[in-house]
Amino acid sequence: MRNYEDKIYSLNETVTGQTQAMSQAVQKALENNGGVGIMTGYYDQNLSVLSVSNLLLHSTGYTFDSFMEQTKGSLKNFFYGDDMDILDYDRFLQFHGTGEAQILAADGTVNNVRAL
């Protein structure tokens, strides 16, 4: 996976392209964790999605548009299962390290993932 490059889809109109630092961070995270993909967002009350990697979209069967439509632009609507309280705003701000979670693929399949 050394030469892996992953396009980042972003809502931030001020970012005209993927920066080298972002590309390297994505590559390192995927190499070290065998990741499903990467998503970034804001620590606001909605846990709003800022960007989504192409690998995450491919792994879950979404296009960027269908992902944003399904999740309504919120990390809270991407996760699934019994441990949803981890996404409560105050608890999420305290989240460090890794944890187990479930995400919902485009076809309705529930996937177990490790959240970093």
What pLDDT score does 3 carry? Answer: 45
* Higher pLDDT pick, 115 / 104: 104
Specify whether the CB–CB gap between 86 and 47 falls below 8 A: no
pLDDT digits (tens, 9 = 90+) for 25-52: 666 666 666 667 778 888 788 888 888 8
To the nearest 10°, report the CA torsion of 45, 51, 67, 96. -50
Q: Where are the domains of the chain?
A: 8-115
Share of the chain above pLDDT 90, in %: 13
Q: What is the model's pLDDT at position 1?
A: 40
Pick the CATH number of 8-115 from 1.10.287, 3.30.70, 2.40.160, 3.30.450: 3.30.450
Average pLDDT over residues 86-93: 68
pLDDT over 70, % of the chain: 53
Say whether pTM exceeds 0.75.
no
Q: Which pLDDT score is estimated for 69?
A: 94
Can you point out the beta strands (E) in the chain?
Answer: 8-10, 39-41, 49-53, 79-80, 99-104, 110-115
